[in-house]
Every structure is written in structure tokens, then in C-alpha cells.
Structure 1
Amino acid sequence: MSAALAPRGGVAPCSRRVMNLAYFLRRSAGRLRDAVGLVWGEKTWTWGEIDARVDAMAAALGARGVAKGDRVLVQARNGNQMFESMFACFRLGAVWVPANFRQTPAEVAYLAKASHASALICGSVFPDHAAAIRAAVPDLRVVVEIGGTRFGEDYDALVADHAGQAAPTAAVEHDDPCWFFFTSGTTGRPKAAVLTHGQMAFVVTNHLCDLMPGTTEADASLVVAPLSHGAGIHQLTQVAAGAKTVLTAGERLDPEEAWALVARWRVANMFTVPTIVKLLVEHPAVDRHDRSSLRHVIYAGAPMYREDQKRALHALGPVLVQYFGLGEVTGNITVLPPRLHAAEDGAGVKVGTCGFERTGMQVEIQDTQGRALPAGETGEICVCGPAVFAGYYDNPEANAAAFRDGWFRTGDLGHLDAEGFLFITGRASDMYISGGSNVYPRETEEKLLKHPDIAEAAILGVPDPAWGEVGVAVCVRRPGATVAEAELIAWLAAEVARYKLPKRVFFWDELPKSGYGKITKRAIREGLEARGSLPL
């Protein structure tokens, strides 16, 4: 061995091999084989049964040529097969590429093409998606159909045919991809964020440490969002802890069913988004079922408006956990634990914060040149740490824009206070300039939601010949409310500076939301244009 290659201090070079994430399932099955690991409607599966089914599906895919590094697109609603498909892919060393089942055939076909998928697992209720994917990826090698055989091999028949078989668990290294996590595409075409085995092992550990400490095999977790994104990361965390996952039976979220499941399975935690928390706590079913088992109601994806936060805390008690994080950082930037949520404003209460840095992560507020800004100054939220993704797949331009000096640029604006608590002002793309002044819509949206007649509100900037840009508000009234535009603007004038006032207010029956429950301002702008409300 040459001197240049000799290990320093007699220590051999560190291997980059890491645990294959599928081992989380194997470990829970070995320790808790006969305990229930998954619930879907009236059906249950033990950890041993899940592990055996995953072995069989991995063997079936492997027999059809799916190998380490291959991308497997999954288009399916939540169900046991969706749950299992993650671990079958991981076990082979293949890359799980889940699509939001609410996307159109053309949108999912784009994901298949962009990811260079070689295999497809698709629900039988999505034949048009399967056809569009086949057209976009003519060399697709494997098609598995959940619940039928119209366009592929039946999923459960393959599991039965390969029962008792097991494909060898692939050896993986830290940076081997396990999941293509497609961004929501609110600012353009979705991009495939590459998540890796080593990165995700850190994320799972961090979730258990910072979001839901004390989670064990005695607990259950309720899924109220598609497993294709944040809820899938949350599911992986439950498997690591041996906690059972409970899936709702219906195709749409039913608050009555959700609260009944909380009571029946003694649910300890759930992952959701602010709009779903709002829906759950404002439904009368919240008071009809025992929810004393709940310890952590985790919400992310968007900041929760303060009035909605208060309402949820009064309804549920001190169980809210907020985290801030993008798919590219697998939700792993900040946390606001239950003890720092307050149901009332007052001295010492940090209203509007999304919390402090997650364990092992660092946040810095930077100006447009990448220079760190001091506490209290607004700039771009940038982050570094083991939870940051490996980059966008096959997209060097996006990678060049997303990273600067090793920091991931979130595209969100905010500031840190002197104690290190982060406050999000909004997306950089949401800010508009009116009469030379920067306007961050979130502040005014918060004020609008204090009005007793307003249930939802969104503000966006539009061109104006006099001021450059002005704000336009789109609001949803509470049932039975009759507040009018002029009345609402007059009320708001006492709450915010004049330059922050929206020039117009439009009332809609509902605001458009993404497949993950987030209000989408691009869709609002398109709706205003379609209705002839723009230009003003």
C-alpha cells in the first residue's frame, strides 16, 4: 500500500455501506411477528404477513427483471399494496416513484418519462393513466395492476404465486437512491428530488426524536393524506418504531370515520396539513369520539394560520406539532413541539413561528448574494444537514439554482429571532411590490382570518398601472355569513398599513387546493383570469 493510500492513524477507510431501509420492516416482523402492523378498513395484517407479502412482491418484480437502481412508478390510492410497494422496491434496491393518485394521466405520464421508469404498479381504477404511461414510456418492462388484469398482471395473484420466495435484500450505500420524491410543481414542471437510503435513515431517526418522541409498538398512527409524499415518510417512521399504521377506508377524507378510527385503534399520532386539521376540528364528530390517546397531531406543508391554530388547540388540547420542511429536505428543517403551542396570545408566546432547527440541521437566512443576515432581517431560508436530498434527478439546471456554497435554497422567505426561532414570511414568488414597498401576503391573510365571517383567505399580487402591483384577496365566507367586499376592506384597514390592503376582494365557495391539501395560488390566479376578474 502506498503512503498516499495508507489509512491515517491505522484506521481503515470508512465504508459507505448503510442499512437498506427495507430492514425496518424485517426488524419489526422479527420482533412483533403476530402483532397488527397495518389496518385498512376492516382488514388487518400482522407484521409477519406484511413482510411475507413484500418478500413475494419483491421476488415477482425481480423475476421480471427489476433490479437495483431501476425506477418503479406507483399510481395507486392508499391501501395495503401502496404500503407494501415501498418496501418491495427498497428490498430490491430499486427506486420507489410514487405519484399522487389525483394527478391526471398526462401529469403521471410525465413523471414516468422524467424518472425513466422501467416498471409500473397501477390501480385498476386508473386505466387511462396506465395507457398514458405506456405511450410515454414504450420500453416499459413490467406492468402490475392492483385489483384487476385489464392492463397488467394482477398484484395479489403475483404475491400468491411467489409466496414463500424472497429476493435477496440489496446491499446499499449511503447515497444510493431509494425514492424519487416529486415536488408539487407549483412553480413549473415537477422535479424528482432524489432521496437516499442513508439520508432517509437520518430522517426517520430525527422524526422519532423531534416530532413524536416516545413512539413505540404500543402506538398507532392514522393516515389522512396520500402515502406518495409526506405521509409516506411518516409511514416509514412508524414501521421503524413498530407502531401500526391505520388507513382510512374511504376514497375521500371523512372526519366522522377519522375520529372513529382514532377511538377504535387508540391512535397516538397522525400526519396532516393545516387545511385538514381545520376540517377535522371544525367537524362535529370531533366531540363524538374518544381522542384521549392522541399525543402528536403533526401538521406541515404550509404554516397554520393563527386563528386556525387556536381553534385546533381548544378542540384537541396540547397535541399539535408543527414542522417546516420541503420534500427536498424531507420535512426536516424546524419543529414547534406541543409545549410551545399556545391556545391564547400573551407574554412569551411566539405567534407565527414554525419553531427551531431540527436536531442535526442548520438554518441560515441569506441575502440574494448568499451572505448571512442577522436576527430579525428577512431573506431566503437556506439549510444544510444530513436530511438534505442528493439533488434533482437528471436536472443540472435546477441543481445549480437550488444549491449555493453547500446550502440548499428553499425559496421561502423568513427571518430568525434572537433565540433561533424561524418565522416564515412566504414564498419568494408570493411577495409583490406596491408603490415601492415589499408586501408579504401572509401577514394580511392572517388578519383576514381574524374576521368572524371569513373561513379561508388568499392574497396575490397583480399588475397595477398606478402602484406597479396591488393585492387581490380571494376569500371563503363561513356558512351563513354575508360580509361584503367594501365592509371587509374597511374592517381590514384598521388592522394593516394602507399599502398592504388588497384593492379588491372576491368571494368564492372554496379555494383550490393541491392533491396534498395545500391552497395553490397559481390555481387561484388562473381562476381569477378564467372568471374575468383580471386585469382589475
Structure 2
Amino acid sequence: MTNNEPKGGVTPVSTRVMNLANFLSQAARRNPDEIALVHGDRRWRWSEMEARVDAMAYALVHEFGVRKGDRILVHSANCNQMFESMFAAFRAGAVWVPTNFRQLPEEVAYLAESSGARLVIFQAAFEAHAEACRAAGEQIGSCIPIGSSRVGEDYDAIVARNLGRSVSPVAVDRDDPCWYFYTSGTTGRPKAAVLTHGQMAFVINNHIGDLFPATTHRDRSIVVAPLSHGAGIHQLCQVARGATTILLPSEKLDIPQFWALVEKWRVNNLFAVPTIVKLLIEDPSVDRYDHSSLRYVIYAGAPMYRADQKKALEKLGAVLVQYFGLGEVTGAITVLPPAFHSSEDGPDARIGTCGFERTGMQLQIQDEDGNEVPAGATGEICVIGPAVFAGYYRNPEANAKAFRNGWFRTGDLGHVDAQGFLYITGRASDMYISGGSNVYPREIEEKLLMHPDISEAAIVGVPDPVWGEVGIAVCVARGGATVGAAALREWLDGKIARYKLPKKIVFWSEMPKSAYGKITKKLIREELERRGELDIGSAGIGERRSAAP
């Protein structure tokens, strides 16, 4: 082969792929009269949902001048219009830019400006957010409210007068963007991870095959997380299979209502972060409703501690599916299927693993120079494969840091065993060095959660004049339990090396959590600082009991 010849001796004829909006059209064609979406007392059939998306896509193109590659920012809590907007944007060839509906107006305005959004769809309750976006982004031409607003014509009114009209899905190539998935990380401004039509087609197939195989149009999926992130990807997969999506009637998670819906609709699968799964299984209502229809309870976004795993298996049976993956890899790095979840702590339990490589994906544990380390050695988790995003939008500095020799660097630390099962130690930014030794907080947190009176725990490293860094443990006691810091530290002694023992333990009534229900070290550290509890002090052990953040 000469240098001028293409790789493999073949010049690609086409890189065109299916527009993802076609998943909805396929489901509507196969199952026109079956229920696509449920929200409160409202139900939409697949044919109705397809018609509504057609109408909005027509309006986007012919009334609002949306062209291929334009960004459409959507700021809304879960509702049918938000879900429809994803397919309408895809059909018009636009890029869907969903936001966390709990963000402040100035935060959403930054996303509008940084993404170059041309149009904003927003729930009417967030009119201030739409105004802030307009002020920040000169390129924004129109705002479409979901509900009555002085800012623009109501979404449903636009749909109603365009019913019966449609546009053909815009032709797209494999690398054409379809979704800007904003990731905040631990520091700095949020970054837009660019997801593409070709990449997402792989991810959807991968999710179906690895997480909830054999899902069909007879299945029902309930949504307990914002559609702007992982739940949106999960529900896109349900549409690809024609499965019904059930939205909770209100923004607030009403757990008895959730279990009642699981029983009523014979729900088969759901996606949640571990803290939400914990809430669901610890509420007494879990025993009042029939949840035997559940086949896949999928959790991701943070580790599930062993004590919570056991409780979930006890309550729900062998239905747990764990996956590990960042927004930049669209969740697709590892999977731990139901067969690999065990309630027994024997040698075959593989306690602490988040599973093995997803189909078509490869991970590698690397040292600081990018070299692969041996099995059992700790290093940074890096990954390659079709699920990896295209890069951060207009952020070459972040891209340079995120990729090395073609591998995406997750920023997470871990190791693999001889069989390739991955064990996450924590974020690189979470690790601290005490007396010259690396300390990984998750190991200590796992031990703390073995205490019968501890419900939640998180550890952060802070500067110390003697040891360099030491740990502060923040704990939440189970309802009605009384446990002291000194007694808890004494209980830990002997279960972990002494240099890993937290130097200070504080108790809060609840943990600060992100909008997606995650316990994040960034929020913990900020709250410790706000309370003045970052100071280790001379006594070494703190026992202040604080009110909820």
C-alpha cells in the first residue's frame, strides 16, 4: 500500500447514518395505538406523539428558521413537551441542549451563551431563565414557553395549529452532533460534551444489549430522574424498543406514589442514581405494593455501597444492574448484570466491582505517563470505543486534557482484577495523601456504612500541618440512632489501617446532594467550609451535630 492509498484499500463511500428521530417514527409505525407516554392522568399513543413531534419540527424549520446544526436549549422539568422536543430537534437536524431545571437563571444563561443556542424552549415557570438567556445570547431569536407566558406563544398552541404538517428528518452523518450533554465535573464552568447521531446509535444498541436485553413494546419504564441527562438517554432507548415511558406526576419524588405506579403499570425497568434507589427501598411503602414485575433496576452515576446493595437485593430480588460511565462516554464503560450481584459476602461475590467492559468498549488502567499498569495496580481509568463523545464544544484546552494517545481519561481511579472486573477507588481529585501514603475515601466510606447506625457517609481530605492531609468524615445517622464520633472512630479502628482513620467526624441530619440525587464531594466541601468545620483543631475528633444543609 502506498501512502496515498486509503486505509484498508477502500475509500468510504458514505458516512451517512439514521437520524435518531426515526426511532420514534419506527415505534409509531409498529405500535400506533399503544401507549407511548404517561404523565399523571394524561396518556399519549405513539401515533399522537409522532404527530405532535412532526408538528413542532415543522414549526421549528418553517416558522422559527431552525437549520441543521442550530442549538435548541430546553429548560424544563420532566414533561411530555420536553421529551417531544428532543425528537423535534433531531428531526430538524438541530442539536438538543437540555439543562438541569434546578439551575439558576444566570447558570442557564451561561449554557445558552456557551452553546450558541438560537432558540429556547422553557417551562413557563422559568420565565426569568428565558429572559436571562435572551440577555446573554444575542444569537437567540425566539423563546417557546411550555404553558402561558408573555415571552412567546405556547408550545402546545404551536403544535395544535401545525398538526398534520411534517418535515422529513434532516439527513445526518455519523459525526453530526445531536445533543450537547453538559458535564460540570468537580471544578470550573460546565462543559458541553458533543454527542453525535452515529455515536448515540451505538450507545442505544449497547444499552439495550448490555443493560436491559429482551426489552419490547410490552415493557414499561418509569422515570425518577431528570430527562436532561442519563434518564433521557435511558428513555431514548425505550422509544427504540417501543416501550412505554411513565413520568412521575410531580417534580418531588413521592415514594409511595412511585411504588403505586410500579404496581399499576406493571413496570419492568427504571434508571436511578444509588441514593434514589436507597430511598426507594428504605421507605416502608416498598412492602405495600407489588413490584414483582421489575426485571431491571439500573443504577449508575455514583457507587452503590455494599450495605445498600444487600438491602436492595433483599427487597427487590435479582434485578440490579450497575453500569459505570461518564456523560462523555454516554454511560457505556462497564456493566454488572443481575447475575453478578450477590447478597452473600463469599469469595465469588466480587464485592465492590462495577463490572466488566461494555460490548464494543475497551478500558485500560494507566499510570501518569499513559502506560498500562498490571492487574491489581491502581491508576487512572481510560477508555476507547464508539461510545466516546466527539469532544467538548469549542474547548480545545479541555479536549487536550481529556484525551491521551486516543484514550479518553475519565479522571477516576481504579484497578482491574485478573478477569477484567473493574474496581473504582474514587475520583483522582478525591484522593488525598496522608503521611506520604495515598488514601482513597471510598474504602473508608464502605467501612463506615457497615456500622448499623450509619445511613450515609462521605470523606474529604483537608490540609494538616503534621501529616500533609487528613480526612474529615461526614456521617448521617439512621433515624433515631445516636452514635458518637469517638465511638465510631474506635469502631473503625482495626477495620482499616490507622493512617486511613478520619481525624475528624461530624454528623449532619442529611447530606447535600446534586440535582440528580448524587452525594458530591464538591458540595460536601463547600458545606463544611460554610459551617466552619474544615478546621481539624487540636482535639482531632469533632462531634458537632449540625442541622440539615
The TM-score range, normalised by the shorter chain, is over 0.9
Which amino acid letter does the alignment assign opposite residue 278 of structure 1? K
Measure the CA separation in 2 of the matches of 1:311 and 1:283.
Answer: 12
Measure the CA separation in 2 of the matches of 1:261 and 1:122.
Answer: 27
Structure 1 residues 495 and 53, CA gap change in structure 2 (3 angstroms): same
Name the TM-score, length of structure 2 as normaliser: 0.96
Structure 1 residues 8 and 324, CA gap change in structure 2 (3 angstroms): closer
Measure the CA separation in 2 of the matches of 1:443 and 1:394.
Answer: 37
Measure the CA separation in 1 of the matches of 2:439 and 2:4.
Answer: 57
Any idea what the Cα deviations from partners look like across 1:318-375, whole Å, max 9, x if unmatched?
Answer: 0000000000000000000000000121121100000000000000000000001110
Which amino acid letter does the alignment assign opposite residue 428 of structure 2? A
Q: Which residue of 1 aligns with 2:437?
A: 437
Q: Which residue of 2 aligns with 1:497?
A: 497
Which amino acid letter does the alignment assign opposite residue 24 of structure 1? F
Q: Which residue of 1 aligns with 2:137?
A: 137
Once the 2 structures are TM-superposed, how far is the Cα of residue 131 of structure 1 from its aligned partner? Answer: 1.5
Any idea what the Cα deviations from partners look like across 1:378-428, whole Å, max 9, x if unmatched?
Answer: 000000000000000000000000000000000000001000000000000
Gap runs ≥5 in structure 2: 537-549
Name the TM-score, length of structure 1 as normaliser: 0.98
Which amino acid letter does the alignment assign opposite residue 297 of structure 2? V
Once the 2 structures are TM-superposed, how far is the Cα of residue 150 of structure 1 from its aligned partner? Answer: 1.9
Once the 2 structures are TM-superposed, how far is the Cα of residue 239 of structure 1 from its aligned partner? Answer: 0.3
Once the 2 structures are TM-superposed, how far is the Cα of residue 189 of structure 1 from its aligned partner? Answer: 1.1
Q: Which residue of 1 aligns with 2:540?
A: none
| 2:84 match: secondary structure | helix
Measure the CA separation in 2 of the matches of 1:526 and 1:404.
Answer: 31
Any idea what the Cα deviations from partners look like across 1:143-201, whole Å, max 9, x if unmatched?
Answer: 10001132122100000111111122100000000000000342221100000000000
Kept in 2: contact 1:38–1:45 (CA 8 A): yes
Kept in 2: contact 1:124–1:150 (CA 8 A): no
Measure the CA separation in 2 of the matches of 1:310 and 1:274.
Answer: 12
1:268 aligns with 2:268: yes
Structure 1 residues 250 and 8, CA gap change in structure 2 (3 angstroms): closer
Q: Which residue of 2 aligns with 1:13?
A: 12
Measure the CA separation in 2 of the matches of 1:464 and 1:244.
Answer: 54
Any idea what the Cα deviations from partners look like across 1:451-471, whole Å, max 9, x if unmatched?
Answer: 111100000000000100000
Q: How is 1:172-183 mapped onto 2 (pairs within 5 angstroms)?
A: 172-183=172-183
1:316 aligns with 2:313: no
Aligned CA-pair RMSD: 1.4
Once the 2 structures are TM-superposed, how far is the Cα of residue 303 of structure 1 from its aligned partner? Answer: 1.0
My pick for the range that moved more, 428-437 or 285-294, is 285-294
Q: How is 1:473-484 mapped onto 2 (pairs within 5 angstroms)?
A: 473-484=473-484
Once the 2 structures are TM-superposed, how far is the Cα of residue 520 of structure 1 from its aligned partner? Answer: 1.4
Q: Which residue of 1 aligns with 2:52?
A: 53
Once the 2 structures are TM-superposed, how far is the Cα of residue 136 of structure 1 from its aligned partner? Answer: 0.8
Any idea what the Cα deviations from partners look like across 1:260-303, whole Å, max 9, x if unmatched?
Answer: 11111111100001000000000011111111110000000011
Q: How is 1:138-157 mapped onto 2 (pairs within 5 angstroms)?
A: 138-157=138-157
Q: Which residue of 2 aligns with 1:201?
A: 201
My pick for the range that moved more, 226-235 or 185-194, is 185-194
Measure the CA separation in 1 of the matches of 2:8 and 2:255.
Answer: 61
Kept in 2: contact 1:66–1:94 (CA 8 A): yes
Measure the CA separation in 1 of the matches of 2:283 and 2:483.
Answer: 23
Q: Which residue of 2 aligns with 1:298?
A: 298
Measure the CA separation in 2 of the matches of 1:489 and 1:93.
Answer: 57
Measure the CA separation in 2 of the matches of 1:321 and 1:327.
Answer: 18
Q: Which residue of 2 aligns with 1:80?
A: 80
Q: Which residue of 2 aligns with 1:462?
A: 462
Any idea what the Cα deviations from partners look like across 1:459-509, whole Å, max 9, x if unmatched?
Answer: 000000010000000111111111011111111112111100001101111
1:35 aligns with 2:34: yes
| 1:307 match: secondary structure | helix
Kept in 1: contact 2:40–2:247 (CA 8 A): yes
Q: Which residue of 2 aligns with 1:351?
A: 351
Q: Which residue of 2 aligns with 1:526?
A: 526
| 1:145 match: secondary structure | strand
Which amino acid letter does the alignment assign opposite residue 20 of structure 1? N
| 2:257 match: secondary structure | helix
Kept in 1: contact 2:127–2:149 (CA 8 A): no
Measure the CA separation in 2 of the matches of 1:8 and 1:308.
Answer: 50
Q: Which residue of 2 aligns with 1:217?
A: 217
1:95 aligns with 2:74: no
Structure 1 residues 4 and 156, CA gap change in structure 2 (3 angstroms): same
Once the 2 structures are TM-superposed, how far is the Cα of residue 9 of structure 1 from its aligned partner? Answer: 9.5
1:391 aligns with 2:372: no
Q: Which residue of 2 aligns with 1:239?
A: 239
My pick for the range that moved more, 9-18 or 408-417, is 9-18
Any idea what the Cα deviations from partners look like across 1:45-69, whole Å, max 9, x if unmatched?
Answer: 0000000000000111112111110
Any idea what the Cα deviations from partners look like across 1:122-143, whole Å, max 9, x if unmatched?
Answer: 0001112112111111331121
| 1:126 match: secondary structure | helix
Measure the CA separation in 2 of the matches of 1:355 and 1:10.
Answer: 38
Measure the CA separation in 2 of the matches of 1:524 and 1:303.
Answer: 16
Any idea what the Cα deviations from partners look like across 1:34-83, whole Å, max 9, x if unmatched?
Answer: 11010111110000000000000011111211111000000000000011
